[in-house]
């Protein structure tokens, strides 16, 4: 589901960028990536997260997808100012990724899975495109944050089939993604990483 203008203001703000930079440093401490890795970011918005991933992990390639063409246009404009970043921007739905099985070393989710009506399919797709021992890095939020009395009047999100921590962590496990120790979780959000089991 696309975001509305108040949320667009938030995701394009300098504060959001600082949050993402801090989380990327946390991700790399939890599980560093070898330079040259092939990375995917789902729901990249205006592309700030992809640039942070590039600065933090020195990947060989980053594919970044978003459902919203306007967000992708903004990302393309930003990309033009970033020297030689190996970023490929693709219009796609995170519930049906247009990539073959086992083609990425890492997938990044900066707060988009709670925008998916069928978020379980989103997690299944992430697992499908990850290689064995590939890493899923995530920042995700729960209804007490985005669907509380105030924010449910300002923001738009799916109302059915929602998840809190136990459901999110359970879906990772069901999809063969082993949660790494050291993740941070509250009743509002979770930030962490999970590694794809080798078959
Ligand atoms: C809350 S914004 C987060 C943007 C960026 N990742 C960030 O953290 O600033 C959610 C993003 O996910 C995108 N999105 C929502 N549903 C999607 C879907 N089914 N597939 C791909 N992208 C989606 C929205 O267009 C939006 O850019």
Give me the CATH number covering residue 84: 3.40.50.150
pLDDT in tens, 124-143: 999 999 999 999 999 999 99
Q: How confident is the model at residue 81 (pLDDT cuts 50, 70, 90)?
A: confident
User: Which whole-number Å values give the CA distances from 20 to 12, 100, 194, in the listed order?
Assistant: 11, 28, 18
**Closest C-alpha residue for ligand 1 atom 11:** 43
Neighbours of 170 (CB within 10 A): 12
- Is 183 among the domain residues? no
- Is 98 among the domain residues? yes
Give the residue among 169, 189, 172, 193 at the shortest CA–CA distance from 181. 193
3-state secondary structure of 77: helix
- Does the beta carbon of 118 lie inside 6 Å of ligand 1? no
Query: Could you tell me the residue range of the domain that residue 120 belongs to?
Result: 5-177
67 sits in which H/E element? none
Cα 133 from Cα 198, distance rounded (Å): 6
Q: What is the mean pLDDT of residues 93-100?
A: 98
- Is 122 among the domain residues? yes
What angle, rounded to 10 degrees, do the helices at 48-57 and 69-81 form? 50
Q: How confident is the model at residue 2 (pLDDT cuts 50, 70, 90)?
A: confident
Residue with tokens 């960028």: 17
- Is 142 among the domain residues? yes
> Model-level pTM?
0.96
Give CA 81 to chain center in angstroms. 23
pLDDT in tens, 150-175: 998 999 899 999 999 999 999 999 99
Q: How confident is the model at residue 84 (pLDDT cuts 50, 70, 90)?
A: confident
8 or 62, higher pLDDT: 62
Q: How confident is the model at residue 80 (pLDDT cuts 50, 70, 90)?
A: confident
- Closest atom, ligand 1, to C-alpha of 11: 9
Tell me how many domains the chain contains.
Answer: 1
Cα 145 from Cα 4, distance rounded (Å): 17
Average pLDDT over all residues of the chain: 95
The string of DSSP letters for 114-168 reads: GG-TTHHHHHHHHHHHEEEEEEEEEEEE-HHHHTSTTHHHHS----SS---HHHH
DSSP 8-class letter at 95: T
Q: How confident is the model at residue 83 (pLDDT cuts 50, 70, 90)?
A: confident
To test the ligand 1 pocket, which listed residue (20, 27, 45) has its Cβ within 8 A of the most ligand atoms? 45
- Is 27 among the domain residues? yes
- Does the beta carbon of 125 lie inside 6 Å of ligand 1? no
Q: How far is the CA of 199 from the centre of ligand 1 (A)?
A: 30
């Amino acid at each position: 589901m696309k975001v509305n203008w108040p949320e667009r203001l938030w995701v394009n703000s300098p504060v959001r960028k600082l949050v993402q930079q801090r989380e990327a440093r946390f991700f790399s401490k939890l599980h560093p990536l070898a330079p040259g890795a092939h990375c995917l970011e789902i729901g990249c918005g205006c592309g700030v997260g992809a640039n942070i991933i590039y600065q933090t992990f020195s990947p060989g390639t980053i594919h970044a997808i978003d459902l919203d063409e306007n967000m992708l246009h903004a990302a393309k404009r930003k990309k033009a100012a970033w020297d030689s970043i190996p970023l490929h921007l693709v219009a796609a739905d995170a519930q049906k990724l247009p990539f073959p099985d086992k083609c990425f070393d890492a997938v990044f989710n900066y707060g988009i899975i709670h925008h998916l009506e069928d978020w379980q399919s989103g997690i299944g797709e992430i697992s499908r495109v990850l290689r064995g021992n590939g890493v899923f890095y995530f920042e995700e939020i729960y209804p007490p944050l985005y669907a509380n009395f105030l924010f449910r009047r300002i923001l738009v999100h799916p109302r059915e089939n929602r998840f809190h921590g136990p459901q999110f962590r359970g879906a990772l496990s069901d999809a063969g993604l082993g949660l790494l120790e050291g993740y941070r979780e509250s009743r509002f959000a979770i930030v962490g990483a999970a590694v794809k089991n080798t078959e």
